[in-house]
Structure 1
Amino acid sequence: MAKFTFNLPDIGEGIAEAEIVAWHVKPGDRVEEDDQLADMMTDKATVEMESPVSGTVLEVAGEVGDTIAIGSMLVVIETDAQGDGQTVPSARDTAPAPAPTAPQVEERIEVENPDASDADNAIAAETSAAQSVRDEPAAEAPTSVAAGSAKKADAPDPARDQSGARVLASPAVRARAKDLGIDLSQVKPADEGRVRHSDLDQFIAYSSGGFAPAGSARADEQIKVIGLRKRIAQNMAAAKRNIPHFTYVEECDVTELERMRAQLNDGRGDRPKLTMLPLLITAVCKLIPRYPMLNARYDDEGGVVTRHGAVHLGMATQTDGGLMVPVIRNAQAKNLYQLAGEITRLAAAAREGSAKSEELSGSTLTITSLGPLGGVATTPVINRPEVAIIGPNRIVERPMFVPDGMGGERIEKRKLMNISISCDHRVVDGWDAASFIQDVKRLLEAPAGLLMP
C-alpha cells in the first residue's frame, strides 16, 4: 500500500486559492481513477476535481466553505500500489489557457484616487444587480456520495425518475430534498421539467407522509454562505464600499420600436426571435464611441481608468444558484440576430452551469434586465471594476399626448419604458450619463437608425 497526496492544481491564470463548495467523497470511501472528488470554486468558475488514482480516501482538506491555497493538499488516498508516498504536482503547465479575445483598442487614463469620505456622501443604489460572479456551485449541503460504491449500488437512484432519466434540480433543491427524505422522482415540477423549492413545498403540503401540514410554519434553518452566494455577497459589499454610485432614469416611448420588432420577428425565418434586449444592446454599441468613459474599467489601487475599444457586454442572468454575468464578446460587431442567439446561448449555459470561465469574465459594461418584473425604475449596483450598468425596466401602456399632424395634439395609447443607468461618479459625470441615455432614447424612439450601418 502507498499513500498518494493529491494537491490542488493550478486551475487558472492568476488564481491563488479556491473554495470548497462540495465534497463527493469522505474518509473511508473507495474511489476509482477519474471519480469526482470535490467541486472547487475560484472567482471565475467552479471546477470539478477528479481522482488521478484508485484507492481509499484517508484524509480530506477541510469542510465545505473552506478556502485552500493552490498547491496545498486536497485529498490523501491510500492506493493499492507498493512504494513510498507520492504527491500530485501542481499541474501549472497542464492547466488550460483562457480563450483569446479579439484585439481591441484601449485607452488608459491616470486619475487621482479620491478620499474615502467622498464615497460616503455619494448617492447609493439600493437594489441588487449584476456582479462579477462565476459558474454555479453546489449547494451548502450537497449530497455526499462515495463515487466507487455509488456505481455498485443496486438501490434505485432517487435523483432519477422511473424511466432512468435524471431529475433536473439545483444542488440546493437536491440537498433540501435529501434532508427531508423526499424522493425527487416523486415530485412533479410545475414548469420546464425542473424541480424547484416551490415544487418541494407543494409536495410537502399535499403529502400524507408525515410532513408539516399546509399553512404551518417552517422550522428555522441556518445556511452557511458558500460558493456563488458568498461571491455575490463579497462583490456587492466591495462595490458599495468602494464605488460612489449615482443613478439616472429616463422614460422612452418604445411604441415604434415594438412595432418594428414585431415586423422583424414575422419575417425572421429560422433566425432567433428578437426580444427588446438585442435592440437595446445595438443602440448602446452604436453610441459608445461618443461616450468612451462608460465602456471602461477602473483600477482603484493603481488610479487608472482603461477605456476599452471593444464592447464586451456583461448580461446579468438569474440562475438557481444566484446572479451570474456571462459576457457577449465584441457585441459591437454583431447584428441583431447574432446578439439574440448569443443571449439565448449564454443565458442557458449560465443556468445549466456549463458556461466556460472565459464566458464569465472580462466584461467592460453590463446590462441587467428583470424582464416583465422590471418595475417602474431600478437603481442597479455597478459590476466592479466596470464604471456603468444599464437597466431597462418594464414596458407599460399609458395614454399620451402626440402630434395629430395638423398642428395640434391628440391622446393615444403608447408603450413606454424607463431606462436606468448607474455610474461610478469618480469616472463618469452626471452630464455624460444623462446625455448618453438621452441619445439612447432618441435612437430607440426612431428605431430605423438601429438598422443603419
Structure 2
Amino acid sequence: MGEFIIKMPDVGEGVAEAELVEWHVKPGDPVREDMVLAAVMTDKATVEIPSPVTGTVLWLGAEIGDTVAVKAPLLRIQVAGEGGEVTAAPMPETVIIEPKEEQSPVARVESLPSVEVKTPVQSAPVARAVVQSPADKPLASPAVRLRAQESGIDLRQVPGTGPVGRITHDDLDQFLARGAQPSVTPAGLAMKTTVEEIKVTGLRRRISEKMVLATSRIPHITYVEEIDVTDLEDLRTTMNASRKPDQTKLTILPFLMRALVKTVAEQPGVNATFDDDAGIITRHGAVHIGVATQTPAGLTVPVVRHAEARNIWNCATELVRLAEAARSGSALREELSGSTITITSLGAMGGIATTPIINHPEVAIVGVNKIMTRPMWDGSQFIPRKMMNLSSSFDHRVVDGWDAAAFVQRLKVLLETPALIFIES
C-alpha cells in the first residue's frame, strides 16, 4: 500500500495562498481518479482540485474557511500497489493552464496537485493526446464538462492531453480553434456565421449626419401629454363621409397641421429656427410644416409650405402629393427643405410615447402616437374614449419648459374641441 499527500496547487497569478471553500470528501471515503476532492478560492477565481489517483481518503489537512498556503499538505489518500508501486503513476508536481479573463467565474484551471509518494514509484509517462472511443466516458473536470455542454461539444471528439487522456480547457480551446463545430445542436436550431457589411451612403448617410448634428448640438426637452380625440375622430369620420370626389380623405394629420397654425400664431417662438453658430433665432411668419415620411430609401421630411394659407382639405391634398413624391424619389429639393416646424408620426405603430429628435435647425417637433380606446373616468363612471399621446421635443436653449408645456396644452384644447380649429381669429 502506498500513500499520496496532495498539496495545495500553485494556481499562478502570484497567489501564495487560497481559502478552502468546499470539501467533497471526508476521511474513509473512497475516491476515484479525476474525482473532485475540494474547491479553493483566491481573490480572482474558484479552483476545483481533482484526485490524480484512485484510493481512500486518510486525512484532511484543513477545514472549510481555512487559508492554506501553496504547497501545504491538503489531504492524504491511501492507494493500492504491489511491491511499493501505486496503480496510478504520479503526476508532474504542478501543471497550470492560466485562466482567461473572459471565462466563467469558475476558473479555467487544470491544476494537477503537488504529490508526495512515500513508496518507490515508476517515473511519470510522457503526456500525449488521447481521443476517447465512443464507448468511453471522457475524462474531464466538472468545469470542463459544463463548458463543453454549454458550447455543444461532444467531449468524445476532443483529444485529451492531460494525464491518462484527461481533457483540459486548453484542449477545448484548441478543438474550437481548429474550426470544429459543436456536434450537439438543438433540433431546428443552427448557428449562423454570415456577416454583412453595408456602406452608409446617399440618403442614409445624410440622415445619419443630420441625426448626429441634432443630438450633439441641441439639448432636447420632451413633453408628453395625452389627448382625448374622441370628438375629433367623430368629426373626421363625418367629414370623410361627406367629402367631394376631388377631396382627399382626411387623416388626423391635417387637423394637427391646422391646430399648429393657430398655436404658433399665439407662440411664435416655437415656429423658429436657431443658427447656433451665429447665435441668431429666426421667428417665421410662414408656417412651413415638415412631415417625417418613411420611404424605401429611408426617412425624408417633405414640407407643406405655407400651411397658414391652406384649409384642411388643401393640407390633406398637399400632404398626400408630397408623401407620394418622396416615396417615388421624385420630390424636388425645395419640397424637402425649408421647414419651420415638424410633425412625426408612426401611425398605428406610434407606441405609447416617443422621444422625437428635432429637425435641425428647427426648435420644435410634434410626435403623434397611436390612438387607443381606453376607459376614462367622467366623474361618475368609466366610459370608453379614444386617447392619443402627443410626444413633443423642444430645443431647451430657445424654448423654456413652461413655454413648451403651454404650447402642447394649447394643442390639446384645439384637438379635444375640434370646432375651435375652424373658427377664425
- Shorter chain as denominator, the TM-score bin is 0.5 to 0.7
Q: Which one-letter code corresponds to 2:260 in the other structure?
A: V
**Which residue does the alignment assign to 1:220?**
195
SS at match of 1:234: helix
| Cα distance between partner residues in 2 of 1:445 and 1:335 | 19
**Which residue does the alignment assign to 1:394?**
370
**Which residue does the alignment assign to 1:439?**
410
| Cα distance between partner residues in 2 of 1:284 and 1:432 | 15
Asked if residue 420 in structure 1 is aligned to residue 395 in structure 2, the reply is no
Cα distance, 1:219 vs structure 2: 2.3
Asked if residue 254 in structure 1 is aligned to residue 229 in structure 2, the reply is yes
SS at match of 2:208: helix
Asked if residue 385 in structure 1 is aligned to residue 366 in structure 2, the reply is no
SS at match of 2:378: strand
**Which residue does the alignment assign to 2:249?**
273
Cα distance, 1:285 vs structure 2: 0.6
Unaligned runs of 5+ in 1: 1-212, 404-408
Task: Name which of 291, 299, 309 aligns with 2:267.
Answer: 291
Task: Name which of 375, 381, 397 aligns with 1:410.
Answer: 381
With the length of structure 2 as denominator, give the TM-score of the two structures: 0.54
**CA shift in 2, pair 1:449/1:399, >3 Å:** same
Aligned pairs for 1:86-105 (under 5 A) are: none
Superimposed CA distance per residue, residues 43-98 of structure 1 (whole angstroms, 9 cap, x where no aligned partner)? xxxxxxxxxxxxxxxxxxxxxxxxxxxxxxxxxxxxxxxxxxxxxxxxxxxxxxxx
Q: Which one-letter code corresponds to 2:258 in the other structure?
A: T
Cα distance, 1:260 vs structure 2: 0.5
**CA shift in 2, pair 1:223/1:402, >3 Å:** same
**Which residue does the alignment assign to 1:234?**
209
| Cα distance between partner residues in 1 of 2:334 and 2:189 | 45
Superimposed CA distance per residue, residues 155-191 of structure 1 (whole angstroms, 9 cap, x where no aligned partner)? xxxxxxxxxxxxxxxxxxxxxxxxxxxxxxxxxxxxx
How many residue pairs are counted as aligned between the two chains?
236
**Which residue does the alignment assign to 1:344?**
320
Cα distance, 1:215 vs structure 2: 8.0
Cα distance, 1:217 vs structure 2: 3.9
Q: Percent identity?
A: 55
Unaligned runs of 5+ in 2: 1-187
SS at match of 1:288: helix
| Cα distance between partner residues in 1 of 2:287 and 2:293 | 18
Cα RMSD (Å): 1.5
Instruction: Specify the structure having the higher radius of gyration (Cα).
Output: 2
| Cα distance between partner residues in 1 of 2:294 and 2:219 | 25
| Cα distance between partner residues in 2 of 1:413 and 1:382 | 34
Cα distance, 1:220 vs structure 2: 1.0
Cα distance, 1:218 vs structure 2: 7.2
With the length of structure 1 as denominator, give the TM-score of the two structures: 0.51
Structure 1 stretches of at least 4 aligned residues deviating more than 2 Å after TM superposition: 213-219
| Cα distance between partner residues in 2 of 1:217 and 1:347 | 38
**Which residue does the alignment assign to 1:366?**
342
**Which residue does the alignment assign to 1:321?**
297
| Cα distance between partner residues in 2 of 1:372 and 1:217 | 33
| Cα distance between partner residues in 1 of 2:213 and 2:265 | 29
| Cα distance between partner residues in 2 of 1:383 and 1:430 | 19
Q: Which one-letter code corresponds to 1:241 in the other structure?
A: S
**Which residue does the alignment assign to 1:448?**
419
| Cα distance between partner residues in 2 of 1:360 and 1:411 | 45
| Cα distance between partner residues in 1 of 2:318 and 2:378 | 37
Superimposed CA distance per residue, residues 94-121 of structure 1 (whole angstroms, 9 cap, x where no aligned partner)? xxxxxxxxxxxxxxxxxxxxxxxxxxxx
| Cα distance between partner residues in 1 of 2:302 and 2:193 | 35
SS at match of 2:381: strand
Q: Which one-letter code corresponds to 1:236 in the other structure?
A: M
SS at match of 1:382: coil
SS at match of 1:368: strand
Q: Which one-letter code corresponds to 2:309 in the other structure?
A: A
Q: Which one-letter code corresponds to 2:237 in the other structure?
A: A
